[in-house]
Structures are given as C-alpha cells and as structure tokens.
Chain A
C-alpha cells in the first residue's frame, strides 16, 4: 500500500519549478556584545534589516519557509515560529490566517499577512526573552550557546525535510524500533537522493557578534558541522566585528558563505535623532551584504560564484591553552586538539589513552651539538663545515 501511495506522489512531484527552501537564522543575542555595538549598529536596526531579508526570501517562492532562533546567554529561544502553538508549521508562510497575533496588536492593513506574522512573533518572543530571566554577570561573559542553537536548527531543518518528502520519513520509520547505524545511513542516503532531486533545500545563517572562545562547545559544534555537511546544509556566517577562525572553518567545510561586516563608526551620535540617522548608513551596508551575499539558496548557488575571502585560516586553537597552533595533536576519539609537546598521556576530554608517534616529538636539529663541537675544539677548528652556511 505504501508503495502505491508513494508512486502516485512521486509522479505528482516532478515539476521543474525551483524547490522550496528553508532559511534558518541563528541570531546571537548576547546583551553585552550588542551593547558594545550600540553606537554603530544597534540590534533594532539589525532586526529590521533581517526582516527585510526574510521577507524577500518568503516573497521569492510561495513555498519558502523561515525559522529564526536566538542564541541567548544561557538558553536558546525560538523567535519564529513560536513553539507554544503546538504545530509550528501552521505558522509557515502558506497559512495566511493567524488571528491570535493579529488580535493582540492593531491590524496593519497594508502589510502582507505572513510578513506581519513573522514580525509580531519575533518582536514578542524577544521581549519574552528579556523578561524571563536576568542572566548573571558571569553568564553574560560566557560564549553564546551556538552548538545548541545549531543542533536545534539542524533538527528543525531535518523535520521540515521529512514533512516535505514523506517517502523518506516512511523508510525511516519502518525500522525495528531502535534506530541502528544502518538505519541512519539509509535515512541520510534517502535524504541525499531527495536533495539531488531538488525536493527541498535548506540553509542556516548565523549572525554572530560575540567575540568569544567557542572551544568549550567544540565537540558539539564539530558534530553539527559534520551533520550539516552530510545533509548538504550550508552554514552561512555573517560576522559583525572581528573575524573568528572557527566559524569561518565551519562555513568553509559546509561550503557556506562567510563574510565579515564592519559597520562604519558613526561620528555624530550626540542626540538620539542624529544617531538614528547615522545608523542608516551602517544598516544599508548590512542590508546590501545580506541581499547580495546570502540571498541565493542551495539550488541557485550551484550556478553562482559566491563571495567571501578565498583564504581560510584552517588553524585551530588547542584545548589545553587556547592558543592557535600550526602543528598540533588531535585525539582520534573525540577530536580534541592539543598543542605539542603533549603534557598528558590520556586525552583530558574523553580519557582515551594517547600515544604520540616518535616523529612528532623529535625536535628539529639544525646544528650538530656537543660531539662535533668538541672535536672542533680538539682539532683546532679543522671541521668548519658543521653548519656554517647561514644565508642572510
């Protein structure tokens, strides 16, 4: 019966139209970082710009979907769709009528309803985020919970994919209950075929502002990156401020776009009104970056040359001291990175015993010590060829 059902669906689905696309945005909402940016690019301006971007994404294809997540200080919160509503997909752009939100606020008659829904949701959820808990001073300084946010985003993308293509969900659920590794493989390969057939594409955009050490979430982040790689979901990163090596590597690994945006520092921010005017310049740059750099979806990217620096710093920070290392050791079990020489015999992260090959620990020798030197003294400088040629 399943087979009959599936074949019918398959025949219906073969259309040459652009595949529906899911855009998931992860917004870093660390108050400290945003407060730092308030003079050049305030959060409200960024939100407005993001809304324009989201609206454009929804407008280009009626089946397109959007999800927005806030990676906050000590939790990850849904900004859109609001999870309390039970079925999140009800709020997706196709369903126009969502009276609850519309009733709360005065109805803006000249706004496209889906745009309005998203706007109200994000606004409401952000306020909830502020009133829910005041984070401690220590927590404010901790890195944003990017690994958690990425995991949620990937899970959501996967869910949407299964909804869009129930055939793969059928095959995944026919297992024997406990999902084994083989089932997972079958599942992902099914996803891949779905992907290659342009059924449904999705991408994740991370808007990152915090300058933070992500090494405490390294394993979670790496797992997310691998998962994204496997699902063909590019991780786009828009970095406002200084660049971070790790996020650049993550986006490079998933063939996403990594851009840094440096907001021009507003000189005249004396009065409130003047400041708002000067923000508009920074905001315009941001909007331009978003629209030009991140607007194309996976299907379109195959045909385009994407922007972004060609040079990626592939070096990683070691876990033991947080230093960026050129040459380091990697635990083969949990992929933790350590600088050399190793100070321990078992991996401090996962307790697996480490064994370092001799070739790694040998120190380079450019000058033959003792033996030769002694002879040199004894022979009265007969051997002068020891290591003399030092080109300058």
Chain B
C-alpha cells in the first residue's frame, strides 16, 4: 500500500488539500479554512472516467478529473489547480501517478468484469464475438446518438445497400440536386437526407451490432455418404476451432495424440466414430453399437466440466430458476419421475445441450448487467417480477384528478360567443321560437314539385360526395386518370423527390440557423424546379394524350374506309396534363405554400435588416 498522498490545491477558488486515501478508494478535497474541517468533496476512484493534466511545459499546473457517478446523467468535471509555489509539478505527479494506476486498473476490470465467469482457457474463437459484444456494450449510448449516426457514412451506406427502395430514392434526390444546384456538397445533402430518417439509421445500427454467436458445432458436423457408399466428413478450420473452444477435453486429447500417435486426419476420423464423441454429444450408446478405440476410450470417464468450474457464479439464483434449490428445499415433492427437475442425475442429451448453451452464453458479455456496482443477485425489480400476484386484490385506483379552471373569458377577444347576428332581440327570438313550436308536429308533410326537385338535387349532391369518397378509397389506376403507366410512374417519382426536398426545406427553414440561409436559398430554388419538373411530366402527358387521340382518329378513318360506317367519335379527353395536375395537386400546393412562407419571411427580414442598417 502506498502512503497517503497529499497536495495543496485550489478547487473552485478555495484553498485546500487534495489527498488520496490509503486504499486508493477515495480522492478527498479538504479546505484549509476553517481548520480541521471535514473533506467537502469525495471522489470514488472507481468512478473516474478520464484524467487530464496540463502539459509539463506550462507554468500553471492543474489536473482535471472526469467522474461518472453510477446512474448519474452526465460525467462531472473536477479541476484542481496545484497551488504550491515550490513543488506544484512534483505534487501533481504524486497525485496523478496513483490515480493513473487506479484508472488503468479500472479500465481493465471493467473489461474483464463484464465476463466474470469466462472459462479460464478462453479460446481464440470465442474472443471475436466477445470483443465485439464488449465494444458495443460500452459504446451503445454514443453509437446511437443523432450526431454519430449522421456522420457514420459506412452505416448509411450499408443501410442503403440493404434497402433498395431507399437507395433508389437517395439516388434520385442526389442526382436531381447535383444537376440543378451543383453547389450543395455531399455531406450537406446526406445530412438533409438522413436527418428525417434517423430512426432507420438507429434501427440499422442496432441490427448491425447484433452478431451471431457460436453454435453447437457437433450437431453441424455430419458425415455424408456419397454414391459409392464411402463415408466422407468435411470439417472446416473454423469448426475445429469451435470444437476446441467448446470442448477443452478434445483439445487436450488432440495435444496428447497428434502427431505422436495418430495423424491429424486419422485422429478426426477416429474421433467422430468414437464413444467419446457420442458421449460429448449427449447421445446414448451401448458398447456393442460403437467399436472401441482404445486411445480415445480412456478419456471416457473424464468429467469434462470438472475443470471449467461452475459456469454461472451468480451467488443468488432466484428460487424460481434454481433446479438445485428444488433438491435442497423439497426433495420429496420432486420424485424421480421428472429427470429435468433433477440437477445431477441426467447425463443425456438434455443436460449436454444445457451445458452447451451455458458455455456459449458464458462467452457473451451480458448486456443487462451493466451496473457493476449495483446490488448483487436479485434486485428489487426482479423480486417484484417474480412475486406471485394473482391472489392480490384489485389495485387501488390511482387516477390523477385534473383541476380545470374556466378559461372562457380569461382573455380578450373571446366575447363573440354566438356568432349569430344579434339583431334579433332575445324576447323576439323567444316568441318566434314559441310560434314555431305551436304548430302540431303530428300533421303530415306535404310536398310539391319544387320540393321533389330539391330532394333530387340534394340526392345528387350526396351521391357526388359518395363517389368522391369512393375514389379516395381506391388505388390510382390507369383507367381512372387516363394516364399511361409510365407517366404515372414518373409522376410518382417526381412526387417522391419533391416531398423529399420539402422535408429538407422545412428542416432547414425551421432550424432558425442563420448560417444555413445559403443552403436554404438553394433548396428553395430546387423546390421551384420541382414545379417545373411536374410541368414537364404534364407536357409529356399532353403529348401522350394527343398521340392517343391521333391514333384513335386514324383507326376510325381506317374503319370508315374499310366498312363505310362511321363510328361515333369517342371523345375521350381524360388524361393529359390536366389529369396529371389533378393527381399532383396537393404536392404542388405544398411546394407553393413553402415558397410563399419563405418569401414572406425573407422579405420581412430584408426589410427589418434595411431598417437596422439605416438606424
């Protein structure tokens, strides 16, 4: 143990002594005034996340300690300025050295502590996913923040590769932007593109951080019999590594036998037909089933799990999950009939598979036990979850009462309550009302021709609205609009990109960031071009319609020549630019609205600005 270290420092403009306790658990700051006061600041060394020190060349010596309290929202910074006139630098070193040591240990222990029960001879094969899991566990918070996601191009690229539709949209938008507003740089564009889709990125990042774990390799290795009846077995390098990782015993035997007593290939071909293999796999066998291989059979009685130790050294397993607990608590209630409820008796497939799963899980860093300083074993929440609640009474009603204050008339301008003209006095209204009621309501209604016409026109209006509604419910089809499929497709594409640009526009416009006005202006330009693009599609549709009508006319003429009969001209005027504009009406409206908004704000601000310049 190092002796306690002390140094005179200034912390938050208070002179005091900075010291580290003997066990290096705490860093204490004790102010000088009043004398012998208790330390005002305690820092747990285990919570230190970063240490910074002024470079040796500077005259002023200060140290910054970044601390992340468990469960705290954000790291806290503590800056200490070493105030000793003679030996500030030396004192700082004296404080920092042990802290650095502790900090380094912390780093190590957090890494190893997350896999507290990893098997001693952890294999190289397991370290891949293991390392991966640790990295993701420690970085999850940062990785999923908006800024990181927006700047992670490889992530965006992989998402685009995966999602073809998104990729297409990205390309379309990018192409259009590049052609027309060449000054928008790629990174700006990608930011605009992704910021409304940040949830997709986040989901993808989560998805990518999930890796496939190891699998039970014995079940994957299967001998195959080819046409000539020769049994072959394919075994890859990775599979061998996995076998060694999952079954240290095989590795030991391999080390013992190869290459002194058996050749590599011979070892494996022997192994996969041996009794040992059957045993490790958990299959039942009898001595007559499998031929004896003396070299391997001598390991049969070896308990594979003996030297790995218990896989889960959790001190408190909840009683609900603890099969061994059954044995201890009520051995008489669990008879011998249910093998799955007995901890040590069964050596068959079930147990093997269980052990296998246990081994695989042990190599994965637990994601849910991030708080290493929390209470060991069952916490309050787990306990609550495990409680049997079905016999409890109904829950107490915990509604929150809402106190409503009458807001009406609180503010000026709400006096016009009944919009009806108040020219009629209330007394006159009442008498009028009474007069209306005097007429007996039981008498039949009489209708004349006018009323029949009125009824018919009302009915027509209703039918019109029903038809309108029905058209909204059905999907756009070629027949309804009179447009050809390619035109509709290009209209849809134009609509998509326009909406895309509208997203960008509002994003930048509402950000209120003066620095982005140039970007905004460009986007407005692009939006305006969107209208032209719609116009272009409409022109296309118009020519298409003309073509169609021309074709029809020619056909009619031909028919007339051939038969001498004239077909009644089908004046099919549906389709064309008008139909297209109808289709994209709301899109155009949205663009125009955005433009007017922008121009109004722009002119207002220009005017304001001019006024400011003049004053």
Task: Point out residues on A near B: beta carbons under 8 Å.
Answer: 30-36, 38, 42-45, 47-49, 51-52, 108, 111, 116, 119-120, 122-123, 126-127, 130, 134-137, 140-143, 175-176, 178-183, 210-213, 215-216, 219, 259, 261, 264, 277-278, 280-285, 287-289, 292-293, 305-310, 319-322, 333-334, 336, 348-351, 359, 362-373, 377, 385-391
Contacts and interface: CB of A to CB of B under 8 A. Distances in A.
Given A140-B426, A180-B396, A373-B613, A391 B436 contact: no
A182 B399 CA distance: 11
Nearest to A391: B528
A123 B442 contact: yes
20 contacts: A35-B433, A44-B436, A134-B430, A180-B397, A181-B397, A280-B447, A281-B448, A281-B454, A284-B447, A293-B462, A305-B469, A333-B402, A348-B405, A348-B407, A365-B601, A366-B602, A368-B515, A385-B518, A390-B602, A391-B525
Interface stretch (B61-69, B118-126, B267-275, B604-612): B604-612
Given A32-B426, A366-B605, A369-B609, A44 B462 contact: no
Given A280-B445, A283-B447, 17 more contacts: A30-B418, A32-B418, A35-B428, A35-B430, A35-B432, A141-B420, A281-B448, A281-B454, A289-B458, A292-B462, A305-B466, A308-B469, A348-B407, A365-B514, A366-B601, A390-B599, A391-B525
A119 B466 contact: no
A307 B455 contact: no
B454 A182 contact: no
Contacts of A349: 404-405, 407
A321 B436 contact: no
Contact of B433 (A31, A183, A277, A293): A31
A292 B605 CA distance: 54
B574 interface: no
Interface in B430-470: 430, 432-434, 436-443, 445-448, 450-459, 462-463, 465-466, 468-470
A370 B612 contact: yes
A361 to B, nearest CB: 9
B436 A38 contact: yes
Closest 7 CB pairs of A and B: A362-B512, A284-B451, A31-B433, A211-B419, A137-B426, A216-B408, A35-B429
A182 B394 contact: yes
B520 interface: yes
B601 A364 contact: yes
B563 interface: no
B302 interface: no
A366 B516 CA distance: 9
A155 B2 CA distance: 78
Interface in B501-555: 509-518, 520-522, 524-525, 528
B437 A310 contact: no
Given A44-B439, A350-B404, A391-B595, A281 B451 contact: yes
B414 interface: yes
A151 B610 CA distance: 57
A238 to B, nearest CB: 12
A1 B4 CA distance: 80
A365 B517 contact: yes
B518 A51 contact: no
Contact of B418 (A44, A108, A210, A281): A210
B455 A288 contact: yes
Contacts of A377: 613
Given A305-B469, A348-B410, A119 B441 contact: yes
A363 to B, nearest CB: 6
B455 A287 contact: yes
Contact of B394 (A134, A183, A334, A336): A183
B509 A369 contact: no
Nearest to A385: B518
Given A212-B417, A349-B407, A350-B403, A367 B602 contact: yes
Prevailing SS type, chain B contact patch: helix
Contacts of A336: 407
A38 B450 contact: no
Contacts of A127: 437
Interface string B248-267: 00000000000000000000
Given A365-B514, A389-B525, A36 B436 contact: no
A161 to B, nearest CB: 23
Contact of B445 (A52, A180, A213, A278): A52
Contacts of A321: 411, 413-414
A285 B597 CA distance: 42
Contacts of A126: 437
Contact of B451 (A178, A280, A307, A387): A280
B424 interface: yes
A277 B396 CA distance: 64
Contacts of A350: 402-405
- Most chain A CB within a 10 A radius of its CB, from B418, B422, B516: B418
Contacts, number: 278
A127 B439 CA distance: 11
Contacts of B424: 32, 35-36
A242 B438 CA distance: 27
A136 B430 CA distance: 10
A283 B436 contact: no
Nearest to B527: A391
Point out which of B472, B525, B613 has the most chain A C-beta atoms below 10 A from its C-beta: B613
Contacts of B425: 137
Contacts of A362: 510-512
B198 to A, nearest CB: 14
A288 B404 contact: no
A215 B421 contact: no
B492 to A, nearest CB: 21
Contacts of A34: 429, 432-433, 436
B344 to A, nearest CB: 44
Nearest to B453: A281
A369 B469 contact: no
B413 A322 contact: yes
Output the residue of B404, B427, B597 with the most chain A CB within 10 A: B404
Contact of A32 (B429, B463, B609): B429
B530 to A, nearest CB: 11
B393 interface: yes
Nearest to B513: A365
A289 B446 CA distance: 17
Given A216-B408, A363-B512, A119 B442 contact: yes
B406 interface: yes
B522 to A, nearest CB: 7
A319 B411 CA distance: 9
A280 B447 CA distance: 6
A32 B598 contact: no
Nearest to A139: B426
B395 interface: yes
A180 B517 CA distance: 55
A213 to B, nearest CB: 5
A116 B601 CA distance: 65
Interface string B559-603: 000000000000000000000000000000000000101110110
A370 B609 contact: yes
Nearest to A321: B413
Contact of B510 (A119, A175, A364): A364
Contacts of B434: 130
B437 A282 contact: no
B470 A305 contact: yes
Given A32-B426, A277-B448, A284 B517 contact: no
A182 B469 CA distance: 39
Given A38-B436, A264-B454, A334 B402 contact: yes
B88 to A, nearest CB: 43
B399 A181 contact: yes
Nearest to A178: B397
Contacts of B430: 31, 35, 134, 140
Contacts of A363: 512
B443 A305 contact: no
Nearest to B529: A391
